[in-house]
Amino acid sequence: MKEDALSGPMSVSRLLVIALVTMLVPLSGCFDDGGSEKKDDVAEEQTALPVLAPPPLSEVVFAAASCEQAALLVPVDAERVAAYLPDGYAVYRDDSGVAWFGASFTHCPSFVKDGSYVRDDLHLAEAGIIIASPDGTGGIHVYQFLTTTDADRLGRDLGLLGAAGGHLEATAYAPEGVLPVGGHNGAAPWPGLSVSFEATAAQAVAPTPGIDRITWWHEGPDATVRIAYAYSAVSAAPAQGVVTVEEGSPFSDMFGATEADAGGFLFAHRFEATAAHHVAGT
């Protein structure tokens, strides 16, 4: 008997498709010659150079291994969430016509940015709506409403690129023990779009082939931003949990509440990601 997609239990196979169906420092310059010189008893005026705007960013590349990730999916009304999408984006609907809100929380013991900057410990949170592929490419596509990280340089550069959100030191994901033992929880308390979760694995971890690409999209102030993740060495445990969002936020409007039951997966993996401005046709 077919369960109601909004309220009934979700099968592991369907969750597998859906759940990965579900993750500023301006440069300035000034010139000072160290003092004025007199020439023919007339002081020469010193002129400061104008403040320079930050150089435009076109790409941010980052990668990490030995990561743990929680991806939670909440069923939402397709028509309600469609109103939050910019022109050119279409809500993904499953066979029952249901749309999905996705929240992804990741922890990695270290990561590399742009091939050189290395930082110990990375927490990354992302939230958005599952969408149809905007460019015809495969994998899972999500319209991004929020991305936060406690890695200051990564958060700064994603913000400069035009992604939604940026550096947030309080970004957190706290697995208990080795995945999937114990409870898992995380939070991204971004003002106006705060989101958090609690989840527990439903069964043991197993290899998960075929889940290797998730692409997040956002219309920035000057360009379309696309963050493409390529995953490898993926294993996963089906999970059930609760996602909590801020009252009065777009997320609570999508939920029709501030808390919702969620299904999804707890993952172990490594990834490479490229965040860049998207040019149509490329």
Q: pLDDT tens digits for 232-256?
A: 888 888 889 999 999 999 999 999 9
Supply the pLDDT for residue 117.
Answer: 78
Query: Residue 239 and residue 180: Cα distance in Å, rounded?
Result: 9
Residue 180 preceded by cis peptide, ω within 30: yes
List, for the chain, all residue ranges whose pLDDT scores fall below the cut of 70: 1-57, 176-182, 202, 204-210, 279-282
Supply the pLDDT for residue 56.
Answer: 53
Phi, psi of 254 (to 5 degrees): -65, -40
Supply the pLDDT for residue 89.
Answer: 97
pLDDT digits (tens, 9 = 90+) for 24-58: 222 233 323 444 443 444 334 444 444 444 445 67
Supply the pLDDT for residue 226.
Answer: 95
Residue type, 234: V
Please name the residue that has the structure tokens 């705060």: 194
Element (H, E) at 154: helix 152-161
Supply the pLDDT for residue 115.
Answer: 84
Supply the pLDDT for residue 118.
Answer: 81
Query: Residue 47 and residue 153: Cα distance in Å, rounded?
Result: 32
Which tokens go with 268?
């172990």
pTM of the model: 0.78
Which tokens go with 239?
């999970």
Supply the pLDDT for residue 39.
Answer: 40
What are the residue ranges spanned by the domains of the chain? 58-277
Domain 58-277 class, CATH top level: mainly beta
